[in-house]
């Protein structure tokens, strides 16, 4: 789509501010509490998408599970990104998904 950038990609010059923002969100109790509300919305979007794709109710087990696991993958990748400043966020997001697939297939 014109004018849109791929999800979770940022120009190099904004990465320090993005890192600082995520550090605050993921490690400040008051912001974590607020994020819980955003996370519920985020999981709902994923569950709705999965439900539509699978032709099931969004409140069925599978869409809800995939929404929660997707959020866990993203938050874990962000935690690693914050802990390792030279790491690549997109690579960590991909590695999280690969690790889950390996676990499931294993």
Domains and CATH numbers, the chain: 30-105 (1.10.357.10)
pTM of the prediction?
Answer: 0.79
Query: Exposed e or buried b for every residue in 7-37, given b needs 16+ CB within 10 A?
Result: eeeeeeeeeeeebeebeeeeeeeeeeeeeee
Count how many residues are written for the chain: 106
Per-residue pLDDT of the chain (106 residues; tens, 9 = 90+): 445 446 667 778 888 898 899 899 888 988 888 888 889 999 999 999 999 999 999 999 999 999 999 999 999 999 999 999 899 989 999 999 999 889 888 7
Return all residues near 90 (Cβ < 8 A) that are at least 6 apart.
8, 9
């Amino acid at each position: 789509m014109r004018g849109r950038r791929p999800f979770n990609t940022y120009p190099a010059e904004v990465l320090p501010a993005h890192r600082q923002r995520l550090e605050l969100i993921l490690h400040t109790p008051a912001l974590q509490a607020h994020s819980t509300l955003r996370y519920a919305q985020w999981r709902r979007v994923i569950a709705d998408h999965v439900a539509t794709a699978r032709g099931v109710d969004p409140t069925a087990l599978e869409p809800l599970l995939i929404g929660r696991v997707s959020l866990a993958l993203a938050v874990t990748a962000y935690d690693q990104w914050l802990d390792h400043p030279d790491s690549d966020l997109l690579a960590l997001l991909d590695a999280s998904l690969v690790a889950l697939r390996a676990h499931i297939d294993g």
